[in-house]
Structures are given as structure tokens and as C-alpha cells.
Structure 1
Amino acid sequence: MGKRSNLDIGRAEMTRLRAAKLESVHLGRYPFEAGIKYYVAKNEPYFAKTTLYEDEKKLRLFIPFFEELKKDGVIKTTDPRRFDEMHISEFVLWLKNRGLSVSTQIKYFQVLKGYLELWGNAICRRMKDTRVLRLPREKRSKPIKALTIDELRSIFSAADKVPGWNGIMLRGYVAIAFGTACRPKEIILSEERDLDLPAKRFYIRHPKGEGSWADPQWIGIVREDMVRKLTLFWEERRRFMEEHGLKSDFLFFNKSTRSHYSLHGFHRMKEILEEKTGIHFSLKDFRSSFCSIMLSGDLSRLKAVSLQLRHSSVKTTELYYAKISASEEIDEAIGDVWMKNIIE
């Protein structure tokens, strides 16, 4: 079972942590780890719960790295109030050497920066301002991948053959993802009551931008074929949980942690389908695939698709579709040309 989130430690303790004066808090033998609960408590009123869960997971990922640096004598402390240029430069190098995408490196850095600034340490900002620190820049206009209808059929067929609880979870995910065009976390964090099959709709309880610019809302399950698949998913999920004495409000319930699945957990399950089909894809590809298939050859649906995707404007959807089209155009133009000059 995974380590319990600090968001679950209780209201009285969260209030106590929020009232603490950080400059004088004693953080003990493992200060970086001990400080995380204060970060969660102090930011609880301002961040969406899902954002704090993700930030906490990332910060926990950093713990062994900084402890190893201290053990090797590279740094003297892991107290977030005393991080200096050595801590940050080693961290940036660690991110680079892990082979992470540029966007992931930037996200990890921003989480660490926010954590340190909570403790009154602006070392990241100072290093950027003096140009000591230069982060890689993310490409703004990279194409967006979309699955073809044949690839989708292969993935759905493979999901139908996965046994046990993993199979049930995968079948439910792909049906909601392609039937609603929702984002991965919006699906994984859903509850049982969020799937309303009689009304053919799905409640987005934790939308992207939750707590700032987006509110929970109902969205239609606009593909009838996915409604049928979700009806089967609902029944086999209910039957499995009854037979095994399981109870949970979460639609995608992790039997090991007794909570909802993490995004990482679903990525691991997704690999089952990749192995069975030979198709490498992302959980978010169902959203772009929905857009591509719905708009292919008929841009009169643009406004409706924009509403389904919950974009801020039709223009946003146009740009999104343009990136998908660019990727498809490259694939179509190059195709199997390489087969004419194979290198053994």
C-alpha cells in the first residue's frame, strides 16, 4: 500500500500545520521530507486537491535523490530553507540525465521552486534572474498524435481480452475516454455516481483548471457504441466487486491502495494493451483521436467538438486540430518509404 497523502491527515492537524511559523519549525533528521506536509497544508486553501496530490508525489520522488547527495557529501543539508546553487544545479542535471521530456523537466523544476519558496528560499528565482540557471525550452508547436480508427479497433479488441480487474478497468477507461474526449485524470479521479448511463452523460468532478478557471460539469457520452461498452463495463465491475466483497465510491478503484488509481498506475496498465497490439500510445491520445475522427472531412462540426472538448474558444480547437493534422500529414506523406532502402 502506498504512503498516505498528507491531505488525509485530518482537519485539526492541517490547521495546526497551516498556523506554523516556517522560519522556526524544527524539521528533524530528514527535513526535505518533513517539510512536505507543511507545503500541502499551507497550499490547501489555494490549490485544487488533485494538484496537491500530484505535487506531493513529485516532491516524494525527489527525497531519495537529495538524501543521496547528502550521503555522498555533495550537499550538507536537505533543509529546504538552506538549498543553494549546488542543490539546484545537481537537481537540474539529474532531471536531464533521467531522459525526461522537456515539459516534464520544467514541471518538476516548478514544483521544487514552489516548495522552496514556501520556505522563504528564492534560490531558483535568483539563479534564473542572474542567468546562472538556464532551463531547456519546450517546443510550443509540436504535432499532436491521434490514433487511426484501425488502431482504435485493435486497442478496444485487446482490452476485451484482458482478464480480471485490470481488464475491467482498462475497458471502462478506453470507453469513457473515446466516448467523452475527457482528459486522463478527469476519468481516473471520477466516482461511481459520475457515470449516468440512462442519461448518457459523465460528470467531470475534477476538471483541468479546477479551483481556478474550470468548474465541475456534466458532459455527454456522444458515441452510442461507447454507451454500450460502458453498460457492459458497469455490470462486470459491479459483479466483480460483489463477488470479492469490495466497496468503493471511486469508479476506477485500486484494490491495492483502496483508493482511486494514480495516473502512473494507469500508464502501467496501458502497457498491457501496447504489448498485445504493438501500438504505442498515450492515455491522452483518445481525446485527440476523438477530435480527429469527428472533424475529418467536415469542419461544420467544429463548434460542437469545441464544446465537447471544453476548449475556451473555437479558435483553440482549430489550433488543436491543426496540430493533429500536421502529425497525420507527416505520417501519410512519409508512410513506408523507408522500406525502399532498408538497412539490415
Structure 2
Amino acid sequence: MVEENTQEDSIELKTFLSYLDRYNDDMIGICKPSTEVERNRKIRRYGRVFAKLAQEGKIVNCDPAVMTERDVRLFIAELRDVEGLQTSTQERALALMNSYFQCAGNYGAVLIARRKLKISVPKKEVEVLTDEEVAIIEAVLDNLPGWRMTVIQGVVIIALATGIRPGEIIRLGVNDLDLVNKTVFVRFPKGNGKYQDPHLVGILREDLIPKVEEYLIMRTAHLAKAGVETDALFPNLRNPGTYRYSDNALRQGMRKLSRICGFPFSTKTFRATFCTTVLDQDFDLLPSVSFQMGHSNEQTTRDFYNACKMARSRAKTRLIYSSVMRPDMKKEASERIRLARANGLLRHKDP
């Protein structure tokens, strides 16, 4: 079903969304039901971009069945030049629009546009945290205000304790946690029904179980205050359809936590950190780590670990370099610049 919207949809947007119910029917058995809301949100968002282009007179029609490859190229230009989206996001937008347009019977527009655009997506580097950075994050988690950041705290704790994927974490139900047996039931794994089925993984950092218990107490109080009942482990009361946070909302919260901590990371970073930390200690644990991470085979885990080792080296380099630039050294540098200017070695103002 089409998501509810707080504002009246324009005629152009209604035209674009007219195939959404049919598209969702086509996705049954292909995509996980849990992804439908997020997928619809993206289609609606991209529909607004097309509607804006139509209202500005840049494209003639917002009907996916008859739109042209030129319309698609203008859409990508809007995402790139106005909204500043990266090439990887542009490519994902094209992939989603291709399947949506094909549902409307338009099999060529997006494919031709993609060939002409020649979007080159750089390989994304893996991020890994040092032990010191993990300690900083855990210390910061105890002082985060507001429910949204409490959710981020819970997500980080589960990520550190299990190494499972962000999408798997955000879709957990409260009954998927078994703190007595120290397990988490991954109900919606990546590749569900293809190379992965719902399965149990262990809570490997038992020292974090009290933190999970604290989060559950805060969750219960939050829901009781709002008078809401939901199975969602990380409930979002602003989304009464599923009461779950979207992947995008999770990324926004994690970016805020990253800024607070003072160094870059995302939810995926904890997964890479888990893999590297364990295999650095004992590489014979590769089969166990591969299962815990939900990889289709051990070679995937091996390749991922090799990328993680390089990322950890970069993280340590960053930490060492930043620690050298201490405030007292900056003060000394400022004094040297002052003396250089006094001696005529530097101008007071650039020409």
C-alpha cells in the first residue's frame, strides 16, 4: 500500500504512484515483506523529484509507462546537482526506478539512461574501529539524551555484542532476544530464503547484557507512557504503521553519534570491528565468525577480513596522527608564526 502522507499529493505525484500497488504485488516472494515500507518511502521520494521536474516544465509526463530516458537523466541530474547524492545512491535510485518502470511496462527508459550516464561507483572502503575508539563510543553511550539517541544506544550495543547487520538489528522484535541463553534470533536476515534462513546467533559480549537490560527497561517505560504496544525492539512512535525505524533514520542517528564522538563510523563499522577483533586473535575461528555474520561462505568472510585489516591500519594511523596534534603544540605553532611575522618572514595579511 502507498504510504500515508501529511500533505495533499500533487497530480503529478499521484500519476507517478499509480503503479505502486501493482509493484508491491509483483515484489511478493521476491523481496522481504519487512522492506516494503522503506521501498515505498523511496519511491514516493523519487516521485516528488519527478513531480518537481514536471512542475518546472523540464519533463512532460510523470507516468512511468511513457517517461523517456531523457526524463531519467534529468532525474539523476537533480539528485546529483541539487540534492548532492553520491554516485552509489544514484546507482541504487536507478536500480529501483528500473524495476518500478518495468512494472509499468517501460523496459527501456532507465536502461538507456544508465548506459548514457555511465555512473562509476567507487569501491567503498571498509571502516574499522580501534579499541580506543570503541571505548570512547561506549563511554559516550551512557550520556545520550532523548529517545532517538536511546534507540541508537541500543542498536550500538546489539551491534557490538553480535556483529549482525544493521538491517537485521533494526527489524528485531523484543521476543527475538533471549538474555538467559544469550542469543538473538535473526528473523529477517539478508538473503532470506536464498542463502540465509532465520537463525540464532550468540550474544558474544556478555559484559553488554546489563546494558541491554537497561535499554529494555527504558523501552518499556517509553511505550507505557505513550500507551502503545508493539513487538519492535526499537519502536518508532512516529511510524504507527510498523512502529519501526527506517534504515535512513538509523543512519541519521548514527551520523549524529559519530559527530559527538569526533571520528567517522556507521552501524556497519561495528560489524567490521567484530570480524577483525576476533580473527586477529584466532583465525581458526573463521567458520564460527562466518556463521555469526551470516555470510554465504567462508571465502566471503576471508575477503571481508582482509579489507578490514587494511581499514584498521588506517584507523590506527588516524588515531596516532590526531594524538600528536595536541593543543600545546598548536599553541607553540601559533607563537612561531607570531615571531615570524614580527621578523618580517611572513606578511600579516595575504595579498
Query: What TM-score does the superposition give when structure 1 sets the normalisation length?
Result: 0.83
> Structure 2 stretches of 5 or more lacking a match?
6-10, 338-351
Distance 1:241 1:74, change over 3 A: closer
For residues 103-252 of structure 1, the aligned pairs below 5 Å read 103-124=88-109, 127=112, 131=115, 133-140=116-123, 142-252=124-234
Choose from 65, 76, 85 the match for 1:92. Answer: 76
Which SS does the other structure have where 2:191 is aligned? coil
Deviation at 1:220, TM superposition (A): 0.8
Contact 1:250 1:260 in 2 (8 A): yes
Deviation at 1:128, TM superposition (A): 6.0
Distance 1:126 1:249, change over 3 A: closer
Q: Indicate yes or no: 2:246 matched with 1:262.
A: yes
Q: Which residue in 2 is equivalent to 1:49?
A: 33
Q: Deviations over 1:226-282 (max 9, x none)?
A: 222212222232234334433211111012223111112222322442343212211
Deviation at 1:289, TM superposition (A): 0.9
Q: Distance in 1 between matches of 2:174 and 2:153?
A: 15
Distance 1:54 1:278, change over 3 A: same
Provide the aligned length of Structure 1 versus Structure 2.
319
Distance 1:252 1:331, change over 3 A: closer
Larger radius of gyration: 2
Q: Indicate yes or no: 2:312 matched with 1:310.
A: no
Q: Distance in 2 between matches of 1:303 and 1:213?
A: 16
Q: Distance in 1 between matches of 2:111 and 2:137?
A: 48
What CA RMSD, in Å, does the superposition of the two structures yield over aligned residues?
2.8
Which SS does the other structure have where 2:208 is aligned? helix
Which SS does the other structure have where 1:30 is aligned? helix
Query: What TM-score does the superposition give when structure 2 sets the normalisation length?
Result: 0.82
Distance 1:157 1:66, change over 3 A: same
Q: Distance in 1 between matches of 2:33 and 2:314?
A: 39
Aligned residue identity for 1:52? E
Contact 2:235 2:244 in 1 (8 A): yes
Q: Deviations over 1:57-115 (max 9, x none)?
A: 21111122111211122211101111112211112222332332322211110000110
Q: Distance in 2 between matches of 1:271 and 1:330?
A: 20
Which SS does the other structure have where 2:117 is aligned? coil
Deviation at 1:309, TM superposition (A): 0.9
Q: Distance in 1 between matches of 2:131 and 2:108?
A: 49
Q: Deviations over 1:281-303 (max 9, x none)?
A: 11111111111111224322222
Deviation at 1:33, TM superposition (A): 2.0
Q: Indicate yes or no: 2:288 matched with 1:294.
A: no
Q: Which residue in 2 is equivalent to 1:322?
A: 306
Contact 1:160 1:167 in 2 (8 A): no
Choose from 21, 24, 45 the match for 1:37. Answer: 21
Q: Distance in 2 between matches of 1:115 and 1:178?
A: 36
Distance 1:244 1:291, change over 3 A: same
> Structure 1 stretches of 5 or more lacking a match?
6-26
Aligned residue identity for 1:135? K
Q: Distance in 2 between matches of 1:296 and 1:32?
A: 51
Q: Which residue in 1 is equivalent to 2:342?
A: none
